Structure 1
Amino acid sequence: MFENLSDRLERSFKILKGQGKITEINVAETLKDVRRALLDADVNYKTAKEFTEKVKEKALGQDVLNAVKPEQMMVKIVHDELAILMGGTASDINIKGNPAVILMSGLQGSGKTTFSGKLANMLKSKRGKSPLLVAGDVYRPAAIEQLKVLGEQIGVPVYSEEDNKNPVKIAKNAIQYARQYGRDLVIIDTAGRLAIDQQMMDEIESIKNAINPQEILFVVDAMTGQDAVNTAKEFNDRLNFNGVVLTKLDGDTRGGAALSIRSVVDKPIKFVGTGEKLDAIDVFHPERMADRILGMGDVVTLVEKAQEQYDEEEARRLQKKIAKNQFDFNDFINQIQQIKKMGNLKDLASMIPGVGKQIKDLDFDDDAFKGIEAIIRSMTPEERTNPEILNGSRRARIAKGSGTDVQEVNRLIKQFDETRKMMRKMTSGGGKQMMRNMRRR
């Protein structure tokens, strides 16, 4: 995400490369380029102007240490100001109440219905809530069906009234239903339009006034850039919403909405959608996003995603097998499954500092492990458990069974052997200590 902006900012900082110190002249030249980069990223003009003025003020007011190069100092100042621009710190969602009520708002096509399912799934699995999804879009029958499909996938009930065309009554009835059946969280999906109109705004304002929700979220497609910011302002003027949700952030190469929206509506970005899967939802962390924009990766989020899939008992069992050199292809394929659960591979790799830029032009298919899995699944149980028996004839049979060739099978076995050696080293010395530290978290 934000690849274009990251590249432009990197070029801007190069103006200071080789400079002995920060001066008014080289700062002005650098920030002129930074402002252009922000405007090209579809950042609001006023926001871009105010941002560069703040950076200039801080840059010229700093005593640059001898050990710190002007370019590095500028990166640090821009990083800190980017984080402040996007809100400074993460904002939590208010789910206190019995039931707590969350009202979703936004234009048609912004991803409200899908995000409603994602949010219900997240709050159910990570916060222990018992959500009820409410089909409040009475104009689009497909929206009701879509919400029911999502609800079935995540094991969350969906409240709908097929014959009722009054969304205010549906919302009120749904809250009563939640109280009756012990659901402590109600997420109400509402109708969108192709453009803002008076009827739409009156309707959602009526729903808000009738149910007094704990949280109103404005859902917007991040890729619409400056249009997203303008729409947010219109909705906020009527609803005074609590926070913003940026969907499709994984496809946004510019970043205009993420960088402008807080300064224009003075409301935090609370969540981002990062893919189509129901677990492709993240809390928005401004500092981490600033890291990613400036090519510093996002190790904290990567570790959090890994820990979500981390099973302490399984890790202990695996550590013992590795120490005894018994790590086999069954373990190998299990680790692949854990990695796949963490999310999009390219997005995960870009969280590693320095890697994002290297892989930006590469295509990472979600089926990147398909060939490896096919090869392993073409092995017999005995071969998976005892890789040492994989002779030439067995490898030829496995290649035929997996639709690959012997060279690919040989390559995988070689990679497996190298992985096994590396993992064995990890279980001795510092590696053991690291494993113990992980278990203490």
Structure 2
Amino acid sequence: MFDTLSDRLQLTLGDLGRAKRLDEDAVNKAMREIRLALLEADVNFQVVKDFVAGVKAAALGEDILKGLDAGQQVVKLVHDRLAELMGSGDSKLAFGRPPTVILMTGLQGSGKTTTSAKLALHLRRQGKRPGLVAADLQRPAAIDQLEQLGRQIAIPVYRTDTSDPVRAAAEGLERAKGDGLDVVIVDTAGRLHVDEALMDELARVRDAVKPLNVLLVLDAMTGQEAVNVAEAFQRRIAFDGVVLTKLDGDARGGAALSVKAITGKPIKFASVGEKLDQLEVFHPDRMASRILGMGDVLTLIEKAEAAVAEDEQAEMERRMRSGEFTFDDFLKSYRMVRRMGPLKGVLKMLPGVGKQLDGIDVDEGQMARVEAIVLSMTPQERRLPHLINGPRRRRIAAGSGTSIDEVNKLLAARKQMQKMMKQLGKGKLPALPPELSGGRPRR
């Protein structure tokens, strides 16, 4: 969602970062461009004003203007201020005596119910035993939706046959306690922040379940209105943190850059896709690096670790160091990458790669075709690729519904990948070839 802002800031800071020394005119020009970029990204006007003033004052300091690599220092200054704008470090949930209660609040249509299930899955992967309480009695089929999501991720959902959301929340919490769960997530009805009756009802639910964490779910696509919503909920409910949904959309990013500065409450999580495993802890410093095109290697490593079991990691490392790379290894690596999320998003986390992807289509369907080709090989062919001669290539192409040319390209790509693995085993970092990324130039 930050693509436009990222492009503008990278363009503005690109020449600045290469400058050894700076003068006041160069800094002022850069600050004007940064101000326009932030305003176009729908960042709150007062937030923009304070941000630019702070960066400018620091950038015009004697130490920076007189020092070598002054431009790089200013780029780092913008990065640090961006991270500070979104929060001074990742903010974790509070956990106390079990069960820890988490109350989910927000507007209608913000994605609260799905986010509740995503959070439950995230917490279970952290070793918790979560449960979901259905207290959204306003929206038709909301409870059925929560139960369906609960079945998909094998997490219990507690519903009560009552029209009183306060009673539904309290009874669901008691049943979860009885089952020995250590985290209970209460999904409440979406409400307009101007609806006093519904806000009073939400306050009664909060008082009944006594949550240790109150999370406000905000739709990042709503822009500045998200900040107005956050202010209204803060006055009435006093939430502890924000979950931003639809961060994978094409919104301009103003909500993410404004909500912490306006409300003082941190962004704790970000939903980066529709799948239930696409909820990430929000790291302001990493997001600032992404915006400035510096990549996000830490998140990439975490995604890779989550996609591969510990024993698989050790085996893959051993084979990488030895330079072994069969089609079975090829298939495992492809499946690992697919589990990490959309390929273009994964590649953008590599430092310096983001801009190189401009003008390139990353074909996700290519991943499925590659898998089909490999699965059309015999176990022996996968272990010993040099056996694949002309007749075998024709058979593999027919079996996978692809062309001989595609099979040939995959065979060549495996050889290239094997070379890359040998380089990585020696501590080098080679470039990823387009055959492996599914990328091709646009025409």
Normalised TM-score (structure 2): 0.91
> 418-427 vs 259-268, which deviates more?
418-427
Q: CA deviation at 1:424?
A: 3.5
Listed as ranges, the matches of 1:91-130 within 5 Å are 91-126=91-126, 128-130=127-129
* Distance in 1 of aligned mates of 2:79 and 2:204: 41
Q: Post-superposition shift, 1:79?
A: 0.8
* Unmatched runs of 5 consecutive residues or more in structure 2: 430-443
Q: What is the letter of the counterpart of residue 85 of structure 1?
A: L
- Note closer, same or farther for the CA distance 1:312–1:171 as it changes in structure 2 (3 Å cut): closer
Aligned residue number for residue 143 of structure 2: 144
Q: Which amino acid aligns with 2:34?
A: V
User: Greater shift after overlay, 368-377 or 355-364?
Assistant: 355-364
Hey, what does 2:234 align to over in structure 1?
A: 236
1:332 pairs with one of 327, 330, 344: 330
2:153 aligns with 154
Within-5 A mapping of 1:31-110: 31-64=31-64, 68-110=68-110
The match for 2:177 is: 179
Report if the CA contact (8 A) 1:103-1:213 is conserved: yes
Q: Tell me the amino acid that sits aligned with residue 174 of structure 2.
A: Q
The SS at the match of 1:282 is: strand
Quote the offset at 1:33 in angstroms. 1.6
Q: Which residue of 1 aligns with 2:312?
A: 314
For structure 1, list consecutive stretches of 5 or more residues without a partner in the other structure. Answer: 432-441
Alignment-mate amino acid for residue 278 of structure 1: L
- Give the equivalent residue in structure 2 for 1:354: 352
2:158 touches 2:176 (CA, 8 Å); kept in 1? no
Take 2:140 and 2:263, find their aligned partners in 1: how far apart are those partners? 32
Matched residue type, 1:73: Q
Contact 2:220 2:251 (8 Å CA) reproduced: no
Q: Does the Cα contact within 8 Å between 2:21 and 2:71 map onto a contact in 1?
A: no
**1:195-206 equivalence runs, <5 A:** 196-206=194-204
How far residue 165 of structure 1 moved from its aligned partner, in angstroms, is 1.0
Question: SS at 2:325's partner residue?
Answer: coil
The offset of 1:50, in angstroms, is: 0.5
- Cα deviation, residue 314, structure 1: 2.5
Give the stretch that moved more between structures: 146-155 or 9-18: 9-18
CA contact (8 A) 2:16 2:72 kept: no
The count of corresponding residues between Structure 1 and Structure 2 is 429
**1:245 alignment partner, SS class:** strand
Q: Is the 8 A contact 1:22 1:59 kept in 2?
A: no
Counterpart for residue 132 of structure 2: 133
* Percent pairwise identity: 49
The letter of the residue matching 1:207 is V
Query: How many Å separate the matches in 2 of 1:426 and 1:33?
Result: 40
Cα gap change, 1:72/1:379 in structure 2, threshold over 3 Å: closer, same or farther?
same
Distance 1:429 1:197, change over 3 A: closer
1:413 and 2:411 are equivalent in the alignment? yes
For residues 255-280 of structure 1, give each alpha carbon's deviation from its aligned partner in whole angstroms, at most 9, with x where no partner exists. Answer: 10111000110100000000011111
Kindly indicate whether the alpha-carbon contact (under 8 Å) linking 1:399 and 1:409 is maintained by their aligned counterparts in 2: yes
Other structure's SS at 2:185 match? strand
Which letter maps to 1:100? T
> Following the alignment from structure 2 to structure 1, what is the Cα–Cα distance between the partners of residues 17 and 295?
22
Q: Look up the SS of the partner of 1:353 in the other structure.
A: coil
Distance, in Å, in 1 between the alignment partners of 2:322 and 2:77 is 50
Aligned mates of 2:71, 2:203 — CA distance in 1: 49
| Counterpart-to-counterpart distance in 2, 1:421 and 1:25 | 49
Structure 2 CA distance, aligned partners of 1:16 and 1:75?
A: 8
Shift of 1:349: 0.8
> Shift of the alpha carbon at 1:363?
4.0
Deviations 1:159-178 (A, max 9, x none): 112x3111100111111101
Whether the 8 Å contact between 2:22 and 2:65 is mirrored in structure 1 is no
Instruction: Give yes or no for contact 2:39–2:48 (8 Å, CA) kept in 1.
Output: yes
1:27: how far off? Answer: 1.9
1:334 counterpart SS class = helix
1:80–1:62 Cα change, 3 Å:
farther
User: What is the rounded CA distance, in whole Å, between the counterparts of 2:6 and 2:365 in structure 1?
Assistant: 27
- The one-letter amino acid of 1:187's match is I
Instruction: Report the CA distance between 1:303 and its aligned residue.
Output: 1.0
Deviation (angstroms), 1:194: 5.7
Q: Residues 91 and 326 (structure 1 numbering): CA distance in 2 closer, same or farther, change over 3 Å? A: closer
Distance 1:328 1:415, change over 3 A: same
Which letter does structure 2 place at the counterpart of 1:349?
Answer: L
**Matched residue SS, 2:354:** helix
TM-superposed CA distance for 1:323, in Å, is 6.3
Alpha carbons of structure 1 residues 311 and 66: separation in structure 2 relative to 1, 3 Å: farther
Amino acid at match of 2:48: A
Contact persistence 2:21–2:65 (CA under 8 A): no
Native 8 Å contact 1:399 1:406 kept in 2: yes
User: Residue 19 of structure 1: CA displacement?
Assistant: 6.0
CA distance in 2, matches of 1:224, 1:266: 19
CA shift, 1:385, in A, is 2.0
CA offsets 1:216-263 (integer angstroms, 9 cap, x no match): 000011121111111110011101100001011111452101110001
The normalised TM-score by structure 1 is 0.92
CA contact (8 A) 1:269 1:284 kept: yes
Separation (CA, whole Å) in 1 of partners of 2:269 and 2:399:
44
CA distance in 2, matches of 1:220, 1:322: 43
Q: Is the 8 A contact 1:175 1:186 kept in 2?
A: yes
User: Which amino acid counterpart does residue 149 of structure 2 have in structure 1?
Assistant: L
Q: CA RMSD in A?
A: 2.1
Contact 1:9 1:37 in 2 (8 A): yes
Find the counterpart in structure 2 of residue 250 from structure 1: 248
The C-alpha deviation readout for 1:176-212, integer Å capped at 9, x for no partner, is 1011111111101111136641122111111112221
Amino acid at match of 1:202: D
Q: State the one-letter code of the partner of 1:136.
A: A
Tell me if structure 1 keeps the 8 A contact 2:5–2:41.
Answer: yes
Q: Which amino acid in structure 2 is aligned with residue 394 of structure 1?
A: R
Once residues 326 and 285 of structure 1 are traced to their aligned partners in structure 2, the CA distance between those partners, rounded to angstroms, is: 36
Q: Distance in 2 between matches of 1:430 and 1:353?
A: 15
CA distance in 2, matches of 1:41, 1:125: 34
Q: Match for residue 375 of structure 1?
A: 373
Secondary structure at the counterpart of residue 362 of structure 2: coil
